[in-house]
């Protein structure tokens, strides 16, 4: 990660885009904004929502899209564990913290101005409203910072177009019961904003503004339609530690903590549908492109669900076994440490026996998932190995169908309606014996090392 080169790239992007929009190019002022963006995006907990992501989202877009991309993930409260001092000065006149929740000020506390009122209208928020992490909180605050930072550099109407783009990046919103989509609602808000602030836009201009916002929002989630499911999972693995910071403590995070992380992601993947990931407004994108996005996303979600569910089952078995030792056992205790700096380590994988007559996949999805479990994802992560030795051993021994049965029992174990010993006894006895013996051999290797 090179912060200086990222800042230069961000500055170059701002200068170019603002010049294209015939805005006021003040290089010193824009350098400060670039520094603000990159310093925030390289915070200690960022692993997916980084400078690389914002440049990727803006690539190929027009000037409004490029600027919107730079700001759209600036605020990410649950990842950054709050809001940094550097950016809080832009939003502190409008938002307060109350009972660990961010709330928009009510008058007379509120220092209202035209820019704030425009952003408030664009998001459909109200005075006194509590902001929710999954319902536009981060996007609203990011749009507010963008509009305040660029006030006087771009026209008020251009700030509104940027706010509309950032609003569209609120992800995974289903169609309402009325049949309206979030893009239809954004069109209506743009109509209101246009009337209140006299921008002079006609319906064609407003529709084009929504289409641009859809383009940006689709690029924000384009990883879901990756033609390579391994690449999709690589990015998924980068997301996990952003919301489970314990995983940064390599070799000390617990079996339970790791399981919670996988469980959350597995639940999230089962909640999603391709239609809630990608959007289409009028002819943006065109029909062929849109349905190709949906088809590839559906494929990736199927792979991810089976992959995560299988890993979740294997980690449930290890967690149940770990209860025989204690209630907060590290994953490295059960599986061995992660290799650091290419130093060889002794791991559970070395003691699991070869499955001589492996269960064969019955579908193309199963074959792909087994390959991913066995050979591994294509990119290392700092907190996990690429392959999944215990899950691979279990799948080869009992097959995916039995793993799915075990997944249901594992979820009962997570809820507390099934004990650890009941989960262990529900597993194939030969598989359970092999895993237990492998863990014991791992422990014996440590005993031997200590006795030298």
What residue ranges of the chain have pLDDT lower than 70? 1, 241, 243-252, 339-342, 378-385
Alpha carbon of residue 177 to chain centroid: 27
Residue among 75, 86, 77, 82 at smallest CA distance from 39: 86
pLDDT 10s digits, 215-232: 999 999 999 999 988 888
pLDDT of residue 452: 84
pLDDT of residue 1: 58
Burial 233-252 (b: 16+ CB within 10 A, else e): bbbbbbbbbbebeebeeeee
**Is there a contact between 220 and 193 (Cβ–Cβ < 8 Å)?**
no
Task: Give, in order, the Cα–Cα distances in Å from 50 to each of 39, 44, 291.
Answer: 10, 10, 29
381 forms beta bridges with: 384
Q: How far apart are CA 278 and CA 221, in angstroms?
A: 7
pLDDT of residue 337: 82
Residue among 345, 355, 333 at smallest CA distance from 254: 333
The string of DSSP codes covering 189-242 is HHHHHHHHHT----HHHHHHHHHHHHHHHHHHTGGGG-S-HHHHHHHHHHHHHH
Q: How far apart are CA 325 and CA 444, in angstroms?
A: 15
pLDDT of residue 63: 98
pTM over 0.85, yes/no: yes
pLDDT 10s digits, 334-376: 998 876 666 778 889 999 999 999 999 999 999 999 999 998 8
pLDDT of residue 134: 87
Q: How far apart are CA 274 and CA 426, in angstroms?
A: 35
So where are the chain's domains? 3-220, 225-451
Q: How far apart are CA 414 and CA 416, in angstroms?
A: 5
* Residue 251, CB-side half-sphere exposure with 13 Å CA sphere: 8
pLDDT of residue 235: 82
């Amino acid at each position: 990660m090179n912060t200086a080169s990222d800042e230069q790239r961000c500055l170059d992007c701002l200068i170019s885009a603002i010049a294209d929009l015939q805005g006021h190019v003040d290089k010193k002022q824009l350098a400060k904004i670039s520094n603000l963006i990159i310093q925030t995006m390289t915070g200690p907990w960022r692993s997916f929502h980084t400078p690389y992501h914002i440049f990727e989202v803006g690539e190929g877009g027009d000037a409004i899209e490029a600027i919107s991309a730079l700001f759209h993930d600036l605020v990410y409260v649950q990842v950054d564990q709050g809001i940094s001092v550097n950016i809080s000065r832009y939003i502190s006149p409008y938002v307060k913290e109350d009972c660990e929740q961010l709330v928009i000020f009510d008058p007379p506390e509120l220092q209202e101005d035209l820019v704030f009122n425009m952003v408030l209208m664009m998001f459909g928020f109200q005075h006194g409203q509590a902001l929710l992490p999954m319902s536009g909180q981060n996007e609203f605050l990011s749009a507010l910072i963008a509009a305040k930072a660029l006030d006087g550099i771009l026209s008020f109407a251009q700030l509104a177009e940027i706010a509309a783009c950032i609003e569209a990046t609120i992800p995974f919103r289903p169609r309402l019961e009325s049949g309206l989509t979030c893009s239809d609602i954004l069109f209506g808000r743009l109509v209101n904003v246009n009337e209140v602030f006299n921008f002079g836009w006609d319906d064609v201009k407003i529709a084009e503004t929504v289409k641009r916002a859809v383009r940006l929002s689709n690029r924000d989630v384009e990883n879901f339609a990756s033609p390579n499911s391994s690449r999709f999972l690589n990015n998924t693995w980068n997301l996990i530690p952003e919301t489970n910071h314990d995983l940064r403590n390599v070799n000390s995070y617990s079996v339970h903590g790791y399981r919670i992380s996988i469980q959350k992601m597995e639940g999230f993947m089962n909640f999603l549908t391709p239609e809630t990931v990608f959007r289409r407004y009028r002819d943006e994108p065109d029909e062929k492109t849109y349905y190709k996005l949906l088809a590839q996303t559906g494929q990736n979600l199927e792979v991810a669900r089976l992959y995560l569910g299988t890993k979740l089952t294997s980690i449930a078995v290890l967690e149940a076994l770990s209860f025989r030792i204690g209630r907060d056992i590290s994953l490295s205790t059960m599986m061995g440490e992660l290799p650091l700096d290419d130093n060889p380590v002794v791991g559970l994988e070395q003691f699991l026996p070869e499955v001589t007559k492996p269960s064969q996949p019955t579908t193309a999805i199963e074959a792909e998932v087994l390959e991913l479990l066995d050979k591994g994802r294509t990119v290392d992560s700092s907190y996990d190995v690429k392959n999944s030795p215990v899950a691979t051993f279990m799948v080869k021994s009992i097959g995916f169908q039995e793993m799915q049965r075990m997944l249901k029992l594992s979820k009962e174990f997570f809820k507390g309606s099934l004990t650890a010993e009941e989960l262990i006894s529900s597993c194939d006895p030969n598989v359970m014996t092999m895993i237990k013996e492998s863990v014991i051999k791992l422990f014996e290797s440590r005993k031997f090392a200590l006795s030298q």
